[in-house]
Structure 1
Amino acid sequence: MPERIYGIRHHGPGSARALLRELAAHPPEVLLVEGPPEADDLVRWVAGGGLEPPVALLGYAVDDPGRAAFWPFAVFSPEWQAIRWAVRHGVRVRFFDLPYAFRVAPDPGAGGRADSGAGPSPGFSPPPAAEPEGRDVPARLGAASVAPPSGRPSRDDRGRRPAALGWSSGLSQPAGDSPDDQPPEIHHEPGGTPEGDGTADGEPVRPVDPIGELAAAAGYDDPERWWEDVVEHRGVPVFEAVAEAMTAIRENAPEDPGDLLREAYMRTVLREERRRHEDIAVVCGAWHVPALTRKTPVKDDTALLKGRRRGKVTFTWVPWTYGRLASWSGYGAGVRSPGWYHHLFTTGDDVVARWLVDAAGVLRAEGVPTSSAHVIEAVRLAEALATLRGRPLAGLTEVTEAAEAVMCDGEPLRSELIARRLVVGERLGAVPDEMPSVPLVRDLTAQQRTLRLKPSAEEKTVDLDLRQDNDLRRSRLLHRLRVLGVPWGERLARRGTGTFREEWRLTWQPEFAVRLVEGSMWGTTVASAATARITRRAAEASTLAEVTELVEICLLADLAEAHPPVLAALDTRAALDADVHHLMAAIPALARTLRYGDVRRTDVAGLARVTASLLGRVCAALPSAAGSLSDAAARQLRDGMDGVHQAVGLLGDETLRERWLGTIESLAVRPGLHGLPAGRLTRLLLDAGRLDGAEVRRRLRLPLTVGTAPAHAAAWVEGFLSGGGLLLVHDEALLSLVDDWLADIPAEAFEAVLPLLRRTFGGFDAGERRAIGERIAGGQEPGPDETTVLDAGRAAAPLPTLSALLGHPMTSTVAET
């Protein structure tokens, strides 16, 4: 008997249910599933309990693991359910899509580049489509007499491939920590190829959206909602109807050469199985059904596949997430609500009520009071909305609107919380420990288990106390993974200079599986791979700052074996680099490394000598570097000196501190020094206790005299006050000096210096600006034995100017006083 071809919607629970009914009614001898044939040996893992969806097949080139692709499956994916049914019933399963090895094979005509496997052979013409029996889309799909697209759509009218039927798109992953860690391009393919592989008239072929057309013809503006109404809830005989609809739509739609190549291979496998078996079941995306049912000469398929080379690839199962299964992630075959589809497929009765109970649980977990009465009313409202709209069952739209009205009180943040936790979901799949994988992955899995640091797709924050052994090992693991381009954890900034605590935000992403395969070229364990990677980066570093960053990373990740080559590279770069800005930029990272050394129990011998040497060179080169500065160079020098000053404070070495303070003392009084570094150095000396208030006020008067250019004075004030505004709040004499200077600036020069002053005062905290404004507006309080008489008019005159400077509205309270 002829094979049964089931055209499904990838990740459609209605398709999955219908497919299971068909397989139970007509058990096949062999099951052909759209997927990579290299993964046939991995089908057996589906029968075990250790493989928990969502999971994905990961395929990658052996000689270049960065070239990889995923084939994701959820529990409600029709392919997954079909494979599980076949394995449990002893039916042989075979993937019959185009081998992934074709796509990673080197193309001799392209200078060794990989052949995407998407283009046809020279001179090949696609076979004509068979004339369908009826040109109208079946009315049982909810669209009566829908004609297929007439003619070849213009390029402007060609939409994206329909996500509802499971076409895919390329997705570039986040970049690694270092500039040379470029992300691999990964294609998510539940049996699909990247868009744009094929060309027509020199441009990518992008077929029309058939599901969108069917939904529009039925009066829907949302294709997913149409599919939910027609298929998920009504359970129509969808396979025959969709096959007929796809035949009509594909008749005149532009053909993608990538699809033609894939379908030629599918037909070849199908012919081969026909010679062996009579009962064959085929599970594929609905778009491919017309190509598999029409009569195509064998010679055409042979000509198209002839000459294709194969690369060497490896496949395994890896965990996946519902977040990556969602269409907003860039996955072309994704669905917008994987969490809702999971609920539809796994929940038997009371779908709406159970969903809203779960939504109430999400809100309660966040402290939102939600009672059982809320749930009851929300269920009634959802069912009433479905009845009013003529829907067979309340769908996601109805339950969402009901939850927003009854349980969320119209608060969008609460609705977004339900959408993230339930509609999309934060489920992460699992694979058995015995799953074949590279040694690096096995080492990481063992460490995660030992450290009780379980990967999760849900974002969570962990606070590590580095004085505790387990937390210290966790920190080292997270830092080592970042070296390998696996940013499982993002380190959060902490206030203060304490070094014994770290705060991390952890989120596991499926793409890390590819990064780990790539990292296996550096070593078989996380520590050895990170050590080799750091050593290579140190050898290739071209600037001093790059090497000092690696020194700090070595400490944070506890890569003791990498210390000698990294320190050797540091000595070499420091000896060759004479730029004082590069030297200053290197010192903060070294100072942090020395300070962290004690709490991390890491040997940093030899690093103190290098740091002292660099500081000595900075002190010697700084006076000559401070001459004849432009505004941009002055700002760069100011920032560099700030970093060195903070680093010297971290070092805790009194000798180095005295040397640094002596250098900036002599530089601060240097004639002709740009106002920005001059003011900043004065502030640093004041904070360090090397200047008293009287001396600071004397130095401030010099640039604020009438004969000094306002721009120079403004730069001096900016440098001096960039450390914060509390100094002006507590030092009335200093505030009075600045106030008098502002009042004496000529009107024609004030607008020129206003941006500098606004930038200075705008950098203060809101409380500091408010306190300064109140002091200026309120004046000085009279003593107990004196009376102060103020001229209200003169006191109110500078208020508009002060409002512009401080960004805080001034009131005329002084006039009332």
Structure 2
Amino acid sequence: MTSAAQEAQVHVLGIRHHGPGSARAVVAELERLRPDAVLIEGPSDASELLAHVVDPDLVPPVALLGYVADDPATAAFWPFGVFSPEWQAARWAVGHDVPVEFCDLPAAQSLAALGAPVPAAESEPDGAATEPDDTKPERAPSDEDDLRTDPIAALAAAAGYDDPERWWDDVIESRGEGDVFESLAEAMRAVREHVEAAPADGAEPTREQRREAFMRKCLRAALKRDGVRTVVVVCGAWHVPALTGTLPTAAADNRILAGAPKVRARSAWVPWSYSRLSTASGYGAGVTSPGWYHHLFTTEPDEVVVRWLTLVAELLRAEDVPVSSAHIIEGVRLAETLATLRRRPLAGLAEVDEATLAVLCDGAPSLAELVRERAVVGERLGAVPEHLPVVPLQADLDATARTLRLKPDAAVKQLVLDLRKSNDVAKSHLLHRLRILGVEWGDPAETTGKGTFKEGWSLQWRPELAVDVVVASIWGTTVPDAAVRRLEALAEEATTLAEVTGALEIALVADLPPAVTRLLRAISDRAAVAHDVDALLAALPALGRTQRYGDVRGTDTAALAEVSSGLLLRACVGLPSAVTGLGDEAAGVLAGRVDQVEEVIGLLGDTDRDRWYAALLTVADRPDVHGSVVGRVTRLLLDSGAISGEDAALRLHRALSAGADTTAKAAWISGFLGGSGIVLVHDPALLAVLDGWLLSLGEQEFVDVLPLLRRTFGDFDAGVRRNLGDRVVRLGDDPGTVDPEAATLDARLAGPAVATAALLLGLAEVPA
């Protein structure tokens, strides 16, 4: 290092990520120091993107997306809010023409350290940065590991606080003056001395050691530049001791950095949201109240409370909650009084929350939770201008939507597609593929009229969908490729055969032939070793439903039909042995499986249908099968025409014979009726058998079966129950005779109807 470099001044500003007080203090310090270079914690190979932070169309919250060029599934995000100290430092530097760059490990190394491709959306619930974070004010530390990962919590505990965010709020967020950086650095030195041990000889450097070695390397490089006299480093407070005092030699840092793996990485700005910036989303460096922190940073300190409660009042009024100016005034007084009682310099979020609950929400926790979701956390969405590089998946989506003339709209729009038209089919494919990726631009909607060629959608482009596109970009650079990879991942993670067939059904409606081929292979492989009849039955409905796509969408389903037949054959062979010895719960599950297959059996081939009903007939003839299963199978055979009404009545009579258990008889009836009594309305023979059985029951037997029968008949529609009552009253009557009293006509009531009928039939003249 040159003598000039040694004389240069280095100021390391330790900050809390996403802290508005830290952001204000950083800007004030930059204004005071007027440095010649600024270094900011962040991926160094994305430094060229810092030039865009002053673009008025780049509106935080936004995030830096880093992804492997050859495999976008390996990705990470570095989010920023308007109140993030790093964002404000970058804006100050670019706005004052001061050289600025990121000084943390490049994304090329961070992504290589991730190893095998793991979607950030799964490794972090909100798709947040996979970078380890310095400050996680979520809990008090309990051991040395907690001290290392959560140093702010350690400082808060040392100061007597059980909530680290409350400590930060008191020390920094609620104080607009004073230089806290040196005090914070001293505190961090004490914490690190407590938890850090000397590295073992020959030990592999940790990722944290590599990060700090790289930061020092960037600092040395900045100091060597001509004209650089003052350098400011903005980084997480934990790293301050590693960048101040007596530093290791460059050679020592180079040894730490040697051999680190790298990949070819790319970076881009993407929109973010406050809900994804919150701790609740699972983001490690998140804060519990990004909406409140945005308000803190953008509002004058002496107006924070009154403007906040005014905002809350507007939110509640929009929900038809009566909130007056008097509520706001009393809320401000209560918050300030609580702060005084607690010896706080200003009312913080805790006091404002309590005032909101007590005064504006009238003590209603549900309203307070609404305020927390919509205001304290908030759903503010950032924006990235079109002229900046975007995620490849977003570019492909925009291009495809323009081609299909499918324009994003904030208003809800009902769309009915005609699947006989190529452009409408392409729109359907796009919307289905986006749903696979979790980008729910459209929700399926019911359509009126007949025919399977219609498909309804309810479309609404919400701003946060741009974030969903970013998260989905880990699966690929184009919508079709990403959807294929996502389905393949779902199939690989599936634990049942039914989940794989469900994925196949989705692949067909989305027109993803590569996924269809691989899923068919996966189904064949799993079915070849599957012996569980329940699993085979559960897998068949999705396969059956997909048979219709060959007609509606022009999809080749020949291979699908072959797989379906194979599964059905295995299920039919195993069904008779699978129905033996079932308890009530297991029998109910199996009966439900049989119903689901019956719903789609008409979509399969004639051979498959014949095989299916032959298997059901075998089950119906078995004397050792649970009554609910036999009853249900008998009903399906009757409805399909496989047995006659007389045969069904004979089977019902046999099931209700004196030798059977009363509860088993009730189960048979429940399975046979299956939630619909219409068959009894139209078949007097079946109704007569059932009525005769009920009349034959003794008092205790009737009491025993009444709950099950009441539950069974209670599921019938009111009209069906009324018709059944009428049929029961007339059981045994001669159908050729008519009760004269029942045929009595009230001429006064029937008159208007008769007159209208006469007009329609031309038997009367239309009155003038």
Task: Tell me the TM-score normalized by structure 2.
Answer: 0.73
- In the other structure, the counterpart of 2:238 is 287
Kindly state the Cα deviation for residue 327 of structure 1 after the two structures are TM-superposed.
Answer: 1.3
CA–CA separation in structure 2 for the residues paired with 1:223 and 1:538: 43
Q: Secondary structure of 1:35's match? A: strand
Kindly state the Cα deviation for residue 239 of structure 1 after the two structures are TM-superposed.
Answer: 1.5
Of 418, 427, 431, which aligns to 1:478? 431
Q: 1:229 to 1:538 in 2, by over 3 A?
A: closer
The structure whose residues are more often helix, as a share, is 2
Q: Deviations over 1:181-231 (max 9, x none)?
A: x99997443865999xxxxx9x96852744334434544332212222232
- In the other structure, the counterpart of 2:318 is 365
Q: Deviations over 1:137-172 (max 9, x none)?
A: xxxxxxxxxxxxxxxxxxxxxxxxxxxxxxxxx996
Of 644, 647, 668, which aligns to 1:716? 668
Q: Secondary structure of 1:81's match? A: helix
- In the other structure, the counterpart of 1:275 is 224
Kindly state the Cα deviation for residue 720 of structure 1 after the two structures are TM-superposed.
Answer: 2.4
Q: 1:676 to 1:204 in 2, by over 3 A?
A: same
**Contact (CA 8 Å) 1:15, 1:231: kept in 2 or not?**
yes
CA–CA separation in structure 2 for the residues paired with 1:612 and 1:305: 57
**Contact (CA 8 Å) 2:154, 2:191: kept in 1 or not?**
no
- In the other structure, the counterpart of 2:408 is 453
**Contact (CA 8 Å) 2:417, 2:455: kept in 1 or not?**
yes
Kindly state the Cα deviation for residue 339 of structure 1 after the two structures are TM-superposed.
Answer: 0.5
Kindly state the Cα deviation for residue 734 of structure 1 after the two structures are TM-superposed.
Answer: 3.7
Between stretches 539-548 and 669-678, larger displacement belongs to 539-548
Letter in 1 for 2:248: P
- In the other structure, the counterpart of 1:40 is 47
**Contact (CA 8 Å) 1:318, 1:430: kept in 2 or not?**
yes
Would you say 1:228 and 2:176 are equivalent positions? no
**Contact (CA 8 Å) 1:66, 1:185: kept in 2 or not?**
no
Letter in 1 for 2:337: A
CA–CA separation in structure 2 for the residues paired with 1:738 and 1:509: 63
Q: 1:683 to 1:376 in 2, by over 3 A?
A: farther
Q: Deviations over 1:506-530 (max 9, x none)?
A: 864847525424313xxxx424654
- In the other structure, the counterpart of 2:203 is none
- In the other structure, the counterpart of 2:182 is 240
Letter in 2 for 1:332: G
Kindly state the Cα deviation for residue 704 of structure 1 after the two structures are TM-superposed.
Answer: 3.0
- In the other structure, the counterpart of 2:656 is 704
Q: 1:691 to 1:354 in 2, by over 3 A?
A: farther
Would you say 1:83 and 2:90 are equivalent positions? yes
Would you say 1:344 and 2:285 are equivalent positions? no
CA–CA separation in structure 2 for the residues paired with 1:528 and 1:208: 38
Alignment of 1:122-201 (within 5 A): 173-174=121-122, 187-189=129-131
Alignment of 1:21-32 (within 5 A): 21-32=28-39
Of 326, 332, 341, which aligns to 2:284? 332
Kindly state the Cα deviation for residue 385 of structure 1 after the two structures are TM-superposed.
Answer: 3.0
Kindly state the Cα deviation for residue 336 of structure 1 after the two structures are TM-superposed.
Answer: 0.6
CA–CA separation in structure 1 for the residues paired with 2:698 and 2:122: 49
CA–CA separation in structure 2 for the residues paired with 1:562 and 1:715: 47
Of 518, 522, 540, which aligns to 2:475? 518
Q: Secondary structure of 1:427's match? A: coil
- In the other structure, the counterpart of 2:742 is none
Q: 1:595 to 1:35 in 2, by over 3 A?
A: same
Kindly state the Cα deviation for residue 290 of structure 1 after the two structures are TM-superposed.
Answer: 1.9
Kindly state the Cα deviation for residue 80 of structure 1 after the two structures are TM-superposed.
Answer: 0.1
Kindly state the Cα deviation for residue 309 of structure 1 after the two structures are TM-superposed.
Answer: 3.9
Between stretches 548-557 and 537-546, larger displacement belongs to 537-546
CA–CA separation in structure 1 for the residues paired with 2:122 and 2:64: 20
Kindly state the Cα deviation for residue 493 of structure 1 after the two structures are TM-superposed.
Answer: 9.5
Between stretches 67-76 and 260-269, larger displacement belongs to 260-269
Kindly state the Cα deviation for residue 331 of structure 1 after the two structures are TM-superposed.
Answer: 1.9
Kindly state the Cα deviation for residue 421 of structure 1 after the two structures are TM-superposed.
Answer: 0.7
Q: Deviations over 1:109-153 (max 9, x none)?
A: xxxx9499xxxxxxxxxxxxxxxxxxxxxxxxxxxxxxxxxxxxx
Of 204, 210, 213, which aligns to 1:261? 210
Of all paired residues, the percent bearing the same amino acid is 44
Kindly state the Cα deviation for residue 70 of structure 1 after the two structures are TM-superposed.
Answer: 1.6
Would you say 1:102 and 2:138 are equivalent positions? no
Q: 1:758 to 1:746 in 2, by over 3 A?
A: closer
Q: Secondary structure of 1:173's match? A: helix
Letter in 2 for 1:32: L
Q: Secondary structure of 1:443's match? A: helix
- In the other structure, the counterpart of 2:57 is 50
CA–CA separation in structure 2 for the residues paired with 1:571 and 1:2: 66
**Contact (CA 8 Å) 1:538, 1:565: kept in 2 or not?**
no
Between stretches 15-24 and 529-538, larger displacement belongs to 529-538
Letter in 2 for 1:89: H
Q: 1:642 to 1:85 in 2, by over 3 A?
A: same
Task: Tell me the TM-score normalized by structure 1.
Answer: 0.69
Alignment of 1:618-629 (within 5 A): 622=572, 625-626=575-576, 629=579
Alignment of 1:640-651 (within 5 A): 640-648=593-601, 651=603
**Contact (CA 8 Å) 2:655, 2:665: kept in 1 or not?**
yes
Of 321, 324, 338, which aligns to 2:273? 321
Letter in 1 for 2:407: R
Of 207, 210, 221, which aligns to 2:148? 207
Of 279, 286, 309, which aligns to 1:356? 309
- In the other structure, the counterpart of 1:557 is 510
Letter in 1 for 2:241: P
Would you say 1:59 and 2:88 are equivalent positions? no
CA–CA separation in structure 1 for the residues paired with 2:135 and 2:159: 29
CA–CA separation in structure 1 for the residues paired with 2:328 and 2:678: 53
Letter in 2 for 1:629: V
Would you say 1:630 and 2:577 are equivalent positions? no
**Contact (CA 8 Å) 1:31, 1:280: kept in 2 or not?**
yes
CA–CA separation in structure 2 for the residues paired with 1:516 and 1:563: 18
**Contact (CA 8 Å) 2:132, 2:284: kept in 1 or not?**
no
CA–CA separation in structure 2 for the residues paired with 1:231 and 1:5: 17
- In the other structure, the counterpart of 2:755 is none
Q: 1:670 to 1:57 in 2, by over 3 A?
A: same
**Contact (CA 8 Å) 1:57, 1:317: kept in 2 or not?**
yes
CA–CA separation in structure 2 for the residues paired with 1:570 and 1:544: 9
CA–CA separation in structure 1 for the residues paired with 2:493 and 2:282: 35
Structure 2: give runs of 5+ residues left out of the alignment: 1-7, 138-142, 200-205, 734-738, 740-768
CA–CA separation in structure 1 for the residues paired with 2:633 and 2:158: 73
CA RMSD of aligned residues (A): 5.2
CA–CA separation in structure 1 for the residues paired with 2:344 and 2:495: 66
Q: Secondary structure of 2:9's match? A: coil
Alignment of 1:287-436 (within 5 A): 287-298=238-249, 299-348=251-300, 350-436=303-389
Q: Deviations over 1:392-450 (max 9, x none)?
A: 33222222222222222222221111111111111222222233345433111344675
Letter in 2 for 1:331: Y
Q: Secondary structure of 1:31's match? A: strand
Q: Secondary structure of 1:91's match? A: coil
Kindly state the Cα deviation for residue 54 of structure 1 after the two structures are TM-superposed.
Answer: 1.0
Q: 1:15 to 1:673 in 2, by over 3 A?
A: same
**Contact (CA 8 Å) 1:359, 1:422: kept in 2 or not?**
yes
